[in-house]
Amino acid sequence: MQIKQNHVSPLKVRFWFLGVSLFFLTKGKSQSTFLAPGEKSFYVFERLEILARTDSLFNYSKVRPFDRKALMDAVNRYASRSGLSLSKTDMHNLRSLNLNHTEWLNETERNRYLSRKPVARRFYRTPAHLYEVHVKDFNLIVDPVFQYTISAEQNSSEHLFQNTRGVFIRGKIADKIGFYSYITDNQERDPTYVRRWVSERKAVPNQGFYKDFKGTGYDYFEARGYITFPLIRKYSQMAFGYDRQFIGTGYRSLFLSDFGANRLFLSLNTRIWKINYRNLFLELQSSASPAPTQLIPKKYAAIHHLDIGLNRWLNVGLFEGVVFGRKDRFDFSYLNPIIFYRSIEQQNGSFDNAVVGMDAKANLLGRVQAYGQLLLDEFSLSEIKAGRNWWANKWGYQLGVKCMNVFGVPNLDVQAEYNRVRPFTYSHYDSVANYTHYNQPLAHPLGAGFGEVLGIIRYQPAPKWLLQGKLIAWKQGKDSSQRSFGSNILLPNTPPFRQGDYGYKVGTGWTTQTLYASLLLSYEIRENLFLESHAVFRKEKTTVAPLQNRNVSVLTIGLRWNIQRREFEF
Distance CA(372)–CA(136), nearest Å, equals: 44
User: Over 90: is that where the pLDDT of 71 sits?
Assistant: no
Average pLDDT over residues 181-187: 97
350 vs 234 pLDDT, higher one: 234
Average pLDDT over residues 93-102: 93
In a domain, 5, yes or no: no
Distance CA(398)–CA(400), nearest Å, equals: 7
What would the pLDDT profile of 189-236 be if each residue is shown by its tens digit? 999 999 999 998 899 999 988 999 998 999 999 999 999 998 877 788
The whole-number pLDDT of residue 290 equals 59
Residue-wise burial string across 312-326, b where 16 or more C-beta atoms lie within 10 A, e elsewhere: ebebebebbbbbbbe
In a domain, 570, yes or no: no
Q: Which parts of 103-183 fold into alpha helices (H)?
A: 107-111
In a domain, 569, yes or no: no
Q: Which residues, including other chains, have CB under 8 Å from residue 456's CB and lie 6 or more apart?
A: 251, 414, 415, 416, 468, 469, 470
Using H for helix, E for strand and C for coil, what is the string for 179-199?
EEEEEEEEEEECCHHHHHHHH
Grade residue 336 by pLDDT with cuts at 50, 70 and 90.
Answer: confident
For residues 262 and 437, the answer to whether their CB atoms sit within 8 Å is: no
The whole-number pLDDT of residue 356 equals 93
The whole-number pLDDT of residue 444 equals 97
In a domain, 502, yes or no: yes
In a domain, 530, yes or no: yes
The whole-number pLDDT of residue 14 equals 44
Least confident of 45-59, 255-269, 273-287: 45-59
The whole-number pLDDT of residue 9 equals 45
Grade residue 550 by pLDDT with cuts at 50, 70 and 90.
Answer: confident
Grade residue 6 by pLDDT with cuts at 50, 70 and 90.
Answer: very low
Grade residue 50 by pLDDT with cuts at 50, 70 and 90.
Answer: very high
In a domain, 371, yes or no: yes
Report the domain count for the chain. 1
Grade residue 157 by pLDDT with cuts at 50, 70 and 90.
Answer: confident
Grade residue 55 by pLDDT with cuts at 50, 70 and 90.
Answer: confident
Average pLDDT over residues 497-504: 92
In a domain, 4, yes or no: no
Range of the domain at 516: 10-301+310-561
**DSSP track, 33-45:** -EEPTTSHHHHHH
The whole-number pLDDT of residue 190 equals 96
Calculate what percentage of the chain has a pLDDT beyond 90. Answer: 63
Residue 274, domain CATH: 2.40.160.130
pTM above 0.85, yes or no: yes
The whole-number pLDDT of residue 349 equals 52
User: Over 70: is that where the pLDDT of 5 sits?
Assistant: no
Average pLDDT over residues 59-71: 86
Least confident of 5-9, 363-367, 556-560: 5-9
Distance CA(19)–CA(21), nearest Å, equals: 5
In a domain, 2, yes or no: no
